[in-house]
Structure 1
Amino acid sequence: MEQTAVFSLFKGLSVQKVMELVHHLERYDSDVFFEKKQTSANGKSMLGMMSVFTTIRIGDKVHVRARGTDASTLISSVHSFLEDAEAAEETFGYWEEEGMETVEKAMTASLHNWTPEVRNVAKSYLKTTRH
């Protein structure tokens, strides 16, 4: 049996959360794939999942396709996992928010002075941390 679902995500998951999700999915017999735009990853592959989840920005949609005997349970489990991850998102106080905003502005303003390699790392960071 095949089940599909679409999730709109709040932002990229931390590396730790992606690892937890992969380990969680390994408990199921069904095959599972996560797709975002033209990128597709096996839900039981750490490297594949990192390529999908570390590039997610606010509002990005991720399609989940599960095929196997426990596909519907797996999809429900993914939904619960992502809801729990969003609920557990760390909230920052005023000064922490101000500090993050200041760093982000400084990074954005100085992008033109960086080498292409450093620029790509900074852009990747900014994509995954923007609210």
Structure 2
Amino acid sequence: MTASPNRGLALTAGSLLALWGGLGFFFAADGDPGFFNRQGGMLWNAFGVNPALCFVWVLLAVVLLITGLGNTVGSRNGNLLVGALLVVFAVYGFVFVDTSANVFALNTTDNVFHAIVGVVLLLTAVGADKENLRAIRASARA
């Protein structure tokens, strides 16, 4: 597919988030149909979903898919951005899971998923493609 780990991961994670976001819209109606409801439906009996969370997943998927189809620098920046947002989302979920501020119907499974995917995206953005990025920068200077 591609020689860049950042591009490959961006396309893979983007596809996963797009699939879950799309399916989540159908299962979000199981609970209260409000957009920011705290008790959403369940996706695969594990992930709590509501329309707001599914919308966020689809937006993040669009960012990853667009940057993954671009160049190495763009996919690295996309992975960095989405990874940071998912880690912030995980922290938000762990802090506000049982409060009225949980407007995304997050549960522990959602929080662990966001933390793992976010950390993997961040580590790949920071650690991978160093040789590719050096070559790109060197050719830009020449």
User: Which TM-score applies when normalising by structure 1?
Assistant: 0.40
Q: Which has the higher contact order (CA 8 A, sep 6+)?
A: 1
The structure in which a higher percent of residues are strand is 1
Considering fraction of residues, name the structure with more helix: 2
TM-score for both structures, normalised by structure 2: 0.37
